[in-house]
Structure 1
């Protein structure tokens, strides 16, 4: 191999290395520029409902009381030692505290009718009635003559906007079908499910 061929070979290797460096630099620069110029931003929101249950302080259970007589209730709804024509009045206030509107559903769940031995009783629900209002109304427009025994959808609002508040009024009425055979029986609702779900 002569000097000229050797020199050309070295020049070709150097040119090849320089071209490789330039190619790699340009590809890296293209990706870096593309990354900076095509920013994708995802913004998210949250759904959050705040619910407060109130029971009317109505000592004679006649359903007549002032709106200021409602007291916050933090325990299960438990009705025992009942007498015909007693009325238990409740108010549920729900507010959308999230950053997105949502679809609101309110369900009465875990409804139990128990005899004096705490066993489920299949007919005791017929001694109770349920009256409830539409959301944000003061008139009890719905009336169930026998209290529902399963999960019961009591209200629906679609959409419930951000910071919007709704009020549901409902009454549990001890009906005329109560007999001496029901002495010592109990009625409870341990869950009021408030669901605020994403709009579809």
Structure 2
């Protein structure tokens, strides 16, 4: 497969997740990932600064979709309803490839402290993007931060259930159900 063929980024992600699963994150090299994906090392580095960044492929797009959904929520939507609109919008970015890779990616993250750290930073980034979008809507900062953290937790819980569910299901359904569960749970905190 030539390096000029389309889909190099996706092939690199799939190759990396496969190799991380087969031999572990630490034992996997950039050269191995590039070879498995059918591209050169320089092509790898055009797409990712290092192998750790493969974990967050698409994070910028996900942040953008979340914030667009929040910004476009109806004016009378409360903070959690706006977060729900962001989750619905972000769910559109999660297709069959995301679902297919989810269990292997979860296992790779669980086996690597470095990937766990990067995954935590991803969560912080998603929450910060949602908080900024809510504050731009006029939501007070503490409320915006809390709603955003609930949104991140709902997305993670929904994603985990979706990746194990029926192939025809929509991620939005799982994420919104998780958000509703969290809303109920937070009301019981007293």
Q: Same fold (TM over 0.5)?
A: no
- Which protein, 1 or 2, shows the higher relative CO under an 8 Å CA cutoff with sep ≥ 6? 1
Q: TM-score, normalised by structure 2?
A: 0.25
Higher strand share: 1
